Chains A and B, each alone.
Chain A
Amino acid sequence: MAAKTKSKATAEYSDAPINQSLTDEDKIEMLRKMVRIRRFEQTSLKHYQGDKIGGFLHLYIGQESVAVGSISLLGDNDHVITAYRDHGHALSVGMNMNECMAELFGKATGCSKGKGGSMHYFAPDKNYWGGHGIVGGQTPLGAGLAFALKYKGLKGCCLCYLGDGAINQGAFHEALNLAALWDLPVIYIIENNGYSMGTSQARSSAHPEEGLAARAKGYNMAWNKIEGVSLYEIRAGVSEAVERAHNESKPTIIEIMTYRHKGHSVADANAEKYRTKEEIQRYIEEHDPINFWKKTLLEEGVITEDDYKKINREAGDEANAAAEFAEKSPFPDESEIFDDIYWEVDNNTEAGRTGRHFFHK
């Protein structure tokens, strides 16, 4: 399960055409994105502990390379959908920290007006379709976004993220069959962080020796397994699938090996019981995607230590400013409770005005 960080492998992937075409600015931008996600998450953790945020908070710390690397490959007709550990994907598609933080604070200025919370971010204007709280629930939707692209004759794809535990939901398997049977341009990215809550992958999934994505063989679907610590490797692997989706309208399952540094959610009291402190420490020290990319860029002479410090400082400032924005924003108005339930009612159409829609009191 360990993400091996061989420099030879890195060299190999950095030579991939998709990575050769990266400018220094692109590389720095990806570093900045990962650092911004981390600072955002750390800041949200602080405010969750300070009781500013309710419900659940599932942090993405340690997995930043997956969202940043894969989403860096997308164009105008490519779409993203994910599960409840969704802040990293949101910032990767370009949602801003203010709207994301305000959502956590339950404020009217949040991306979902305070209605969805941490698990349910949305930004259709950025091709980002949520943020889904039910494990596996997003996987048929991912196939559906791909279906819509194909139906409309658009050359695009949908990246649909799910966890290593989510692969055991029945809906996922039905979606896989549809995707393969109907040649839908969907790419399922299994973010294998080794655990579904307190259950290790070994205790939750039966699968071929080659790994979780190899279940694709049963559907005659392409698959791949990628070490997630390196952006080069992620970009090289995912870009093949994007090409397959764009050019052949075929689905792929990709398993990306990664690790969450924190507990399942901040409420996970057992985070250091079902895995050893040593294991967590080892991943933090040896397989942190931000440190890994920073080191790569230092070695390539793309950045200096000072550049990194500046990026880090700016991201921290941005996250603090977002928290301040969230704090100062108003809570939603009570009248909002009955908005955004029916399109027809919201838009005051004839259909929305005909018959009684709500039954409170």
Chain B
Amino acid sequence: MPREITYREALREGLDEELAHDENVVIIGEEVAEYNGAYKVTEGLWKKWGDKRIIDAPISEAGFIGMGIGASMLGVRPVMELMFYSFAYVAFDQMMNNAATCRYMSGGLTNCPIVVRGPANGGTNVGATHSHTPENIFANMPGLKVVSPSDPYDVKGLIKSAIRDNDPVYFMESTVLYGMSGEVPSNDELDDGELIIPLGKAKVKKEGTDITLIAHGRAVVTSLLAAEILAEKYDINAEVLDLRSIRPLDENAIMESVRKTHRAIYIEENKPFCGVGAQISSMIMEQAFDDLDAPVLRITSADAPAFYSPPIEKLQLPTAEEIVERALTIC
């Protein structure tokens, strides 16, 4: 029986292993230590690693993330938790200006090996201020890396790579995925003795021949559902490609799939304007135009702030039904 654990547990395991792997790894954030994490990702880590490695911070995101960036220049490897990625906006200058450009402006003399992680998703009725999806905004900035894992296996392998990476990595999770279970081999089942997934490698989550559904984060789960419906009801064999890492981006995997299926839709819970799908569809158009049998479509969240009212917010997010409906227009 392969081992099944939750996304939350897999993430915690990755953090725990990196704390063991490198004594410079330190976790800082609001309620990460004594409270065991607002979403229980860091549960038990403070007890195990103590005050020096797991640190509760006051509600000062600009201060503690900026501090982490500074510490990273001197060899500390901070893993900062944002209770919600929406709160990154309070620390925007530190995350955009300092983390992203110090290396460039110093002519390569510095680097910032920091990870800023936390949930970046809507769909939980917490209103517009708490439902931002800033992956496209941060991915827009050269110098930054953006990762958005969609299942327990990936979140473990990717957090370990993110922590070992020598550049700033913004790691965006989802509160909706924390409870999701999936297969994650234990280390003794692995040839290398540990699970490491390099940044910049997409993964085919389901093979197909007729259309490629490209997605990141929770939209991958929605896309897999849509692929099932397309197969069962319409005899359409969709391929689902999970980017996993948005920047660096696995361009080859995208083009390879599109050259095979000749059709693509990008699905994301991000907003449409300059969303991740805008970048991807433009690249497909430039590089695989002759392989396309239909325009590349994009499915995003509604172009509006998150609506609190639970039944209405549901309508703002991409659904499997919407993906199916739009896929049928080009298949």
Question: Is B125's CB under 8 angstroms from A106's CB?
Answer: yes
Question: Is A274's CB under 8 angstroms from B35's CB?
Answer: yes
How large, as a class, is the contact surface on chain A?
Answer: 35 or more
Looking at the assembled complex, report how far the CB atom of A59 sits from the nearest CB atom of chain B, in whole angstroms: 16
Question: Is A204's CB under 8 angstroms from B309's CB?
Answer: no
Residues of A within 8 A of B (CB): 54-56, 103, 106-107, 112, 114-117, 119-120, 132-137, 165-166, 168-171, 196-199, 203-205, 270, 274, 331-332, 334, 336-338, 341, 358-360
10 nearest CB pairs, A to B: A106-B309, A117-B308, A54-B125, A133-B129, A114-B309, A198-B35, A55-B125, A360-B303, A168-B58, A54-B310
Report if A115-B273 is in contact (Cβ < 8 Å); known contacts: A169-B59, A204-B58: no
Give the complex CA separation of A270 and B31 in angstroms: 11
Asked whether any CB of chain A lies closer than 8 Å to the CB of B328, the reply is no
> Please, which residue of chain B has its CB at the minimum distance from the CB of A108?
B309
Residues of A within 8 A of B302 (CB): 337-338, 360
Looking at the assembled complex, report how far the CB atom of B20 sits from the nearest CB atom of chain A, in whole angstroms: 26
Looking at the assembled complex, report how far the CB atom of B261 sits from the nearest CB atom of chain A, in whole angstroms: 22
Asked whether any CB of chain A lies closer than 8 Å to the CB of B90, the reply is yes
Give the complex CA separation of A136 and B89 in angstroms: 12
Residues of B within 8 A of A (CB): 30-31, 34-36, 38, 56, 58-60, 62-63, 86-87, 89-90, 124-130, 271-273, 300, 302-305, 307-312, 315-316
Looking at the assembled complex, report how far the CB atom of A192 sits from the nearest CB atom of chain B, in whole angstroms: 14
> Please, which residue of chain B has its CB at the minimum distance from the CB of A171?
B90
Tell me the number of A-to-B contacts counted with CB atoms below 8 Å. 133
Chain B contact surface mostly: loop
Give the complex CA separation of A85 and B125 in angstroms: 16
> Please, which residue of chain B has its CB at the minimum distance from the CB of A198?
B35
> Please, which residue of chain A has its CB at the minimum distance from the CB of B309?
A106
Looking at the assembled complex, report how far the CB atom of B307 sits from the nearest CB atom of chain A, in whole angstroms: 6
12 A–B pairs (Cβ distance < 8 Å), ordered by A:
A54-B309, A55-B126, A115-B305, A119-B127, A133-B127, A134-B90, A135-B59, A196-B59, A198-B35, A331-B311, A336-B312, A360-B300
> Please, which residue of chain A has its CB at the minimum distance from the CB of B304?
A337
Question: Is A337's CB under 8 angstroms from B312's CB?
Answer: yes
Give the complex CA separation of A137 and B89 in angstroms: 11
> Please, which residue of chain B has its CB at the minimum distance from the CB of A168?
B58
Question: Is B272's CB under 8 angstroms from A360's CB?
Answer: yes
Report if A334-B59 is in contact (Cβ < 8 Å); known contacts: A197-B35, A359-B273, A360-B300: no
Looking at the assembled complex, report how far the CB atom of B220 sits from the nearest CB atom of chain A, in whole angstroms: 21
Question: Is A332's CB under 8 angstroms from B312's CB?
Answer: yes
Residues of A within 8 A of B87 (CB): 134-135
> Please, which residue of chain B has its CB at the minimum distance from the CB of A165?
B59
Question: Is B31's CB under 8 angstroms from A197's CB?
Answer: yes
Give the complex CA separation of A118 and B220 in angstroms: 30
Question: Is B130's CB under 8 angstroms from A197's CB?
Answer: no
Residues of B within 8 A of A331 (CB): 309, 311-312
Looking at the assembled complex, report how far the CB atom of A109 sits from the nearest CB atom of chain B, in whole angstroms: 11
